[in-house]
Amino acid sequence: MPKGSNQKFKLYRLAQIMLEKTDEDHYISMPEIKDALAEYDVTADRKSIYNDLRDLSVLGVEVEGEPVGNRYHYHVINRTFELPELKLLVDAIQSSKFITEKKSNALIKKLETLVSRYDAQKLQRQVYVSGRIKTMNESIYYTVDAIHHAISENKKIKFQYFQWNVKKEMELRHNGAWYHISPWGLSWDDENYYLVGYDSDAGMIKHYRVDKMLHIKMSDEVREGKEHFKKLNMAEYAKKSFGMFGGKEQTVKLRVHNKLAGVIIDRFGKNVIMIPTDEEHFNVNVDVHVSRQFLGWVFSLGEDIKIVGPDEVVEQMRREIERLGKVYCKENKAEE
């Protein structure tokens, strides 16, 4: 049998064929394997293919043969990822607000190469499940990489920060001034990615939406603020910050209806201590950064939750309710 021009790629092409064309429910026969190799200009006899199928295990591709009548057919039995695992990854990518639609599709296409073409179709169907709003900043992936690189090099970073204006245009904050920050970590909150870093000029920890950072570059200066982050638990920090908005950290006492127990646990974790006050309510102390976002979260839960202490936080809530009341009263009078 004359050899094809791509014989040196024989084992690689065989692995490619088996991974693409077979799975737990789809098999391929020996004649079909030979035909598929021929499409890559690779020739092989039955005996050499038997040996090659065994050798594929060295590459981490396990192939099993099963008898059908007086013949055998073959399929891959183990893969790095199972289909349900990849579906979870696809859903995570699709639901991630900070990943653009273009990049989401590109990442999912790469995940499809990890399964057979039949299972890839099942992943493709997943892509169209959601019409979630996605970020429009394509550079976010490089920004994240630059942040991690600066952290590993123990260096500060410089970047510009933008916001959207009413014309739907990027508008640089602080007239385009460069932010000079010591990066210490990345945090995920409310479907957004945040840089958590130390601002030396302000002498405090701050956080920034990664998808709103532009033109990031690593500085020659060594990071500062280590003493602040030694005692900072990043997971706890994110849990205390509602929507990653800052505010004075305080222990707030809440009186909560029993039906909101799940809401409290989802937000603050199972370790919170819920003390029954009567048959329908409990008190819980939570450590939070008291901001309008926190007050808004409490307000959104209605009459089933109430801030009962400290007094200054109760007063903040009263003032916020009064402020909003005035806003809506003014609007109603204007409409009349």
320 assigned to some structural domain:
yes
> Do 63 and 114 share a domain, yes or no?
no
Q: How much of the chain, in percent, has pLDDT values that exceed 90?
A: 40
Within the chain, strands assigned E span 28-29, 62-68, 71-78, 155-164, 170-172, 179-189, 192-199, 204-209, 213-222, 248-257, 274-276, 281-290, 305-309
Arithmetic mean of pLDDT, 137-156 = 86
pLDDT in tens, 199-210: 999 888 888 988
- Tokens for 133? 């709003």
Number of domains in the chain: 4
2 assigned to some structural domain:
no
> Do 220 and 189 share a domain, yes or no?
yes
> Do 198 and 249 share a domain, yes or no?
no
Of the listed ranges 92-106, 117-131, 249-263, 311-325, the least confidently predicted one is: 117-131
**Which CATH number goes with the domain that contains 194?**
2.30.30
> Do 121 and 155 share a domain, yes or no?
no
Query: What's the chain's average pLDDT?
Result: 84
Domain of 48, in residue numbers: 7-78
Q: How much of the chain, in percent, has pLDDT values that exceed 70?
A: 86
Annotate 14-50 with DSSP letters as a single string.
Answer: HHHHHHHH--SS--EEHHHHHHHHHHTT----HHHHH
Arithmetic mean of pLDDT, 281-310 = 90
> Do 105 and 168 share a domain, yes or no?
no
235 assigned to some structural domain:
no
49 conformational bin, left if phi > 0, alpha if psi -120 to 50, beta if neither:
alpha
Residue 129 has pLDDT above 50, yes or no: no
Assess contact for 117 and 21: CB atoms under 8 A. Answer: yes
Residue 154 has pLDDT above 80, yes or no: yes
pLDDT in tens, 209-235: 888 899 999 999 999 988 877 766 665
> Do 173 and 220 share a domain, yes or no?
yes
236 assigned to some structural domain:
no
> Do 14 and 46 share a domain, yes or no?
yes
pTM score over 0.75 = no
218 assigned to some structural domain:
yes
Q: Give the C-alpha separation, 24 to 15, whole Å.
A: 16
> Do 274 and 293 share a domain, yes or no?
yes
Q: Between 249 and 35, where is the model more confident?
A: 35
Residue 139 has pLDDT above 80, yes or no: no
104 assigned to some structural domain:
yes
pLDDT in tens, 61-92: 999 999 888 888 999 998 888 888 998 888 78
Q: Between 99 and 17, where is the model more confident?
A: 17
45 assigned to some structural domain:
yes
> Do 118 and 152 share a domain, yes or no?
no
